[in-house]
Amino acid sequence: MSGKENGNKEKVVTKYDLKVERRKAAKEQERKSRMRTTAITVVVVIAIVAWIASYPILNYVHRNESWIKVNGSDITREEFDYYYSNAVNSFLSSYGSYASYFGLDVNSDLATQQYSDTLTWKDYFEEEAVNNLKTYKGILADASSAGFVYDTASDVEEFNDSLQENAKEAGVSAREYLKSRYGAYATLSDIKKYITENAYIAAYMDEKSEDFKPSDEEVQAYYDENKASYDSVDYYIESFEAEIPAEDPTDEQIEAAMNQASAEANEALSTVTQSGNLLVNETRDAISYLFSDWLFDDSRKAGDQTVVEDTDGHAYHALRFVKRYLDEEATVNVYAIITEDNNGQEILDEWNAGEATIERFQELVKKYDSNGATEGYYENIMPGNLESEAEAWLSDPARQIGDVTLITPESSDVSYVFYYAGQGEVSWKASIISTLSSQNESAYEEKISEGITVADEKGHLNYLKVEAEQDEQQ
């Protein structure tokens, strides 16, 4: 089976992939969160809310007075809790199923669980929250100085709709759910301010995405330095397992069986093109470490062959090299409306009832997909990264620019209305563009936040105390 067929082909991560994965992850995390908290946490939060309500001065303090300072500006406890909660939920969305491997019990007090020798998990997430605050405040200042303008109304509306839906499913009021999600001092009016700010920042980063893209010269230079990560190979392989007795084999029996397998593999070199398996378009990361170095050796030429020993697997592999090359498979560009509202057919019917122009499709994106990228455009998508139904439609050789369809995969509760916009970059180039764009974006975020200061005058952040102690000891 080829790398493409077995799913090991390098994935080109696009905004489309990220958006769909964020939706899936967020929805799953919300579901798990509701399962964990409806019976316990929400009850506790309601009790806390009632207690806070009885102390309006305390509530006022945490909503209005400074908790920490970022770049000289006051950050209230409520705003800090918002970023802290986002840090926790972002981690759980990505690694929640592996939490136990990190020694993390998501149902227990994070302040009592060690993240490292000196920090608790609470410390870790507080540091993440502060780092995000620094980055976001830096980007916010940059966007403002650039005169960037963006209407966040649809983002706030979507947040409010999601809040109401999640609260209903959890069996609590929106106010109670908000506090269980963002902290006991959270209010809808203030949380909307943070939602507005973050939507503005996200839109600005979308606009700047073109600035992060590398030039053709940079793409070529990166490929030249990392050819083995992007090239593909075709080769024949035939494997011979040593026939070792199943129960308590002696060293002599293992050695004899391995010698026999070795002899069979060496003999098979002359017939491997007839009796072996031909694997095509295999990338390095799809190939066993046992023979990836041999296959991707720069001196390798057509017809080269070898036998590789697999000591742990008690086997030998006969290999014959065919060729090494760059896969020139093209990606696709699409405009898309992604919806979870069971209205995909309605959207398609509305499209079919009017003028078939890209401008009109973009208007439908704005109308039905408020969480979409700019004008609903996604470029350089690998069809193999999509659900099978979408892949089949987009990969059809008869596909023409301007074709529109509705895809509702059986395995998903998300529907897609696609407008085919033609082929994108070839896959290897798209992958490098994605890699370098991410690196450039990270460099921008690092630079934009490096001069931003954090002041914890009241000593709320333990990780800063630990850092200070470590600096004194050095």
The tens digit of pLDDT for each residue in 292-325 reads: 999 999 999 999 999 999 999 999 999 999 999 9
Question: Is 442 within a domain?
Answer: no
- Strands 231-241 and 277-283, sheet pairing: antiparallel
The proportion of the chain whose per-residue pLDDT surpasses 70, expressed as a percent, equals 85
What mean pLDDT value characterizes the chain?
85
Question: Is 440 within a domain?
Answer: no
The answer, yes or no, to whether residue 86 has pLDDT greater than 50, is yes
Q: Each residue of 108-145: pLDDT tens digit?
A: 899 999 999 999 999 999 999 999 999 999 999 999 99
Both tokens assigned to 29:
């995390």
Question: Is 221 within a domain?
Answer: no
User: pLDDT band at residue 63, thresholds of 50, 70 and 90?
Assistant: low
Both tokens assigned to 42:
């929400």
Cβ atoms of 334 and 401 closer than 8 Å: no
Does residue 342 come out as left (phi exceeding 0), alpha (psi in the -120 to 50 range) or beta?
A: left
CA distances from 360 to 58, 246, 399 (A): 52, 68, 20
Cβ atoms of 42 and 172 closer than 8 Å: yes
Q: Do 178 and 147 have their domain in common?
A: yes
254 Cβ contact list (under 8 Å, min separation 6): 242, 244, 314
Q: Which of 53-57, 103-107, 344-348, 357-361 has the lowest mean pLDDT?
A: 53-57
CA distance 275 to 279: 13
The answer, yes or no, to whether residue 175 has pLDDT greater than 50, is yes
Q: Do 70 and 120 have their domain in common?
A: yes
CA distance 45 to 114: 25
The answer, yes or no, to whether residue 334 has pLDDT greater than 50, is yes
The structure's pTM equals 0.74
Q: Do 24 and 154 have their domain in common?
A: yes
Q: Do 123 and 102 have their domain in common?
A: yes
| Residue 180, pLDDT score | 85
CA distance 306 to 237: 10
Q: Each residue of 394-420: pLDDT tens digit?
A: 889 999 999 999 999 887 778 899 999
Q: What range does the domain containing 65 cover?
A: 18-212+449-473
The answer, yes or no, to whether residue 100 has pLDDT greater than 70, is yes
181 Cβ contact list (under 8 Å, min separation 6): 33, 85, 89, 166
CA distance 150 to 205: 12
- In the 8-state DSSP scheme, what is residue 151? -
Element (H, E) at 382: none
Question: Is 145 within a domain?
Answer: yes
Sole residue written with tokens 């490292």: 116
| Residue 218, pLDDT score | 97
Expressed in percent and rounded to 5, the helix, strand and coil fractions of the chain are: 55, 15, 25
The answer, yes or no, to whether residue 41 has pLDDT greater than 70, is no
The answer, yes or no, to whether residue 105 has pLDDT greater than 50, is yes
- In the 8-state DSSP scheme, what is residue 215? P
The answer, yes or no, to whether residue 472 has pLDDT greater than 50, is yes
Q: Do 138 and 239 have their domain in common?
A: no
Q: Do 368 and 396 have their domain in common?
A: yes
One-letter amino acid at 387 equals: E
CA distance 258 to 314: 7
User: At 12, is the secondary structure helix, strand, or coil?
Assistant: coil
428: number of Cβ within 10 Å = 22
Query: Which domain-ending residue is among 326, 353, 377?
Result: 326
What's the total number of domains in the chain? 3
| Residue 107, pLDDT score | 83
402 Cβ contact list (under 8 Å, min separation 6): 356, 358, 419, 420
335 Cβ contact list (under 8 Å, min separation 6): 358, 361, 362, 365, 375, 376, 377, 378, 418, 419, 421
At 376, which CATH number?
A: 3.10.50.40
pLDDT average, residue stretch 345-356: 95
Tell me the range of 224-233, 363-372, 375-384 where mean pLDDT is highest: 224-233
Q: Do 341 and 249 have their domain in common?
A: no
Both tokens assigned to 221:
């230079």
pLDDT average, residue stretch 441-464: 94
214 Cβ contact list (under 8 Å, min separation 6): 222, 432, 433, 436, 437, 440
User: pLDDT band at residue 289, thresholds of 50, 70 and 90?
Assistant: very high
